[in-house]
A and B are shown apart, each in its own frame.
Chain A
Amino acid sequence: MILYDYVLSASCYKVRLMAALIGKTLSLHAVNFHPAQEHKSPEMLALNPKGTLPILQDGDTVLTDSADILRHLTAEHPEWRSPEDDRWLAFASDLNNSLGLARLHDVISYEADIEKARAAGVAALRKLEAHLTEQRFDGLIFLTGKTPTIADIACFPNTALAPDGGVSLDPYPSVRLWMRAIRSLPGFIEMPGIHRLHELAHPA
């Protein structure tokens, strides 16, 4: 399986992380998203006319949405699936359009209404905090239950990277506990801005 990948993309990291957690090796093809905008090159547009990353190629199958890719990777891993996943995969897309956009604006100068993006991000984080707090009252750590599913993997990256876009995670203790739980999963891998658990406790 080939992942057309950009090292700083939260959406690509979802795929790398999911694959690592189920022990699947991906062949990574680095795409120069920034500064060269290689994802808009004719070769890449031939593969994905939307001009976005990630793209997963598995034989003749080409998938261009991280939610579809997470479903594809875990097709034989029912333990990573829950009937509640779909709603959270949609929510992950809201996180990407708010916190994710604020981050691309702040880091690589993406065009955005930054105040609006941050406000939408904060609204999403409040929803996440409320849900995870309820889960804790029920003794559940993850979004859909006692064990993690693709829902958690889809929502984790843009949440954890919120400070890159100028949104603090200080007000969300349940979110922070949930992120810790994800970072302590066996096989967890990091990305720039998301450090592994036992190292350097710099403010996340």
Chain B
Amino acid sequence: MTATIDNHWYPVAMISGIQAPRETLLLGKKITVGRERGTCWVKDASGNALPTVERFGHLWTSPGQPNRDLFTIPEADSPGRRLVDVGSVKVKCSPLRAVENFLDIAHFPFVHTDILGAEPHTEVDRYDVKIREEVDEVWATKVKFFQPQAAKSAEGGITTEYMYRVPAPTCSVLYKTCPPRPGEWDVITLFVQPLTDEWCEVWPWMALYDDDSTMSEMVSFQQLIFMQDRSILENQLPRKLPLDPGMEVPTQADMTSVAYRRWLKKIGYTYGAQLVAA
């Protein structure tokens, strides 16, 4: 494993869910996660302590030496938001495929029918995508899409505006129109723990404005959405994410995915990727 891959931060647990020490995998290697007197710890297979960060309700670690702090989501700190621990779902797919699927809006009407999309509203209009060099992140903005039930809090269909952000190779953050407060963004994240290069544990997390739904209702809504993706992800081919341009012909809607792949290639992140045409 190269340092390029080891030196990132990875989510390995939901803090509120840590009880007895638990063994798990990170990048194919065994690690143990636990908590003592309120402080979380992670150890590698030889018992060495790994660095930790507690942020966004999750515990993060790195098998290498991260050369920068874990990203932040300043919007999530604003008062009045409800922070939702969605829990994890395991999926037999490449961690990069899980992120790529999260970035793709074109599948909404077909996979999240009558919730995040509906026919005949299948067109994705032109939007802006770029790699923001100063922060080394992928950003897509001005993404607009018609949604019958944009969130648990939505009453009827609305055109939702999205911003997508990839701040780390196996993490994505999306900002979308908040139905009860149209001037604000709801924050929904997908934190992916690469168990191996074709198996992952996915930890969604949300920071929403919603004064009406119960916590259980918000968790259910997000789990429902994510489980609609799971069988699709497990059946995707090729299993690993191709990083070579030209292998799949991109459409307008895929521009975020194209930028994501380009960025992965640029930073040399190849875990769960395929570089040679299959």
Interface residues of A (CB under 8 A from B): 6-8, 30-32, 34-36, 38, 106-109, 163-164, 166, 192-193, 195-196, 199-200, 202-203
Contact = CB atoms under 8 A, between A and B. Distances in A.
Given A108-B87, A109-B90, A192-B227, 11 more contacts: A30-B217, A32-B220, A35-B17, A35-B85, A36-B219, A108-B90, A164-B230, A164-B231, A192-B225, A199-B113, A203-B235
A8 B110 contact: no
Contacts of A196: 113
B214 interface: yes
Contact of B89 (A7, A107, A195): A107
A74 B74 CA distance: 52
Contacts of A35: 14, 16-17, 85-88, 219
A200 B113 CA distance: 10
Interface string B227-241: 110111011000000
A200 B216 CA distance: 29
B88 A108 contact: yes
Give 6 closest A-B pairs by Cβ, nearest first.
A35-B87, A192-B227, A32-B216, A30-B216, A7-B220, A30-B220
Interface of A, secondary structure class, is loop
B227 A109 contact: no
Given A30-B216, A108-B87, A199 B227 contact: no
B215 interface: yes
Contacts of B264: none
B11 to A, nearest CB: 13
A170 to B, nearest CB: 12
Interface string B8-37: 000000101100000000000000000000
Nearest to A32: B216
B86 A202 contact: no
A163 B62 CA distance: 33
Contacts of A163: 231, 234
Interface residues of B, number: 32
Interface centre among B86, B219, B221, B235, by most chain A C-beta atoms within 10 angstroms, is: B219
Given A8-B227, A35-B87, A192-B228, A200 B110 contact: yes
Nearest to A203: B235
Contacts of A108: 87-90
Contacts of B111: 200
Given A107-B89, A200-B110, A34 B223 contact: yes
A126 to B, nearest CB: 23
Task: Choose among A35, A36, A199 the residue with the greatest number of B CB atoms under 10 Å from its CB.
Answer: A35
B3 interface: no
B32 to A, nearest CB: 15
Contact of B232 (A8, A199, A202): A202
Contact of B230 (A6, A34, A166, A192): A192
B90, B227, B234 pick with most chain A CB within 10 angstroms: B227
B50 to A, nearest CB: 21
A31 B110 contact: no
B110 A30 contact: no
Question: Which of A8, A30, A106, A200 has most chain B Cβ within 10 Å?
Answer: A30
A99 B275 CA distance: 37
B59 to A, nearest CB: 14
B224 interface: yes
A107 B85 CA distance: 17
A89 B110 CA distance: 33
A48 to B, nearest CB: 16
7 contacts: A35-B88, A35-B219, A36-B215, A36-B219, A192-B227, A193-B228, A193-B231
B17 A107 contact: no
A192 B217 CA distance: 15
A34 B110 CA distance: 26
A83 B111 CA distance: 39
Interface string B188-228: 00000000000001000000000000111101110111111
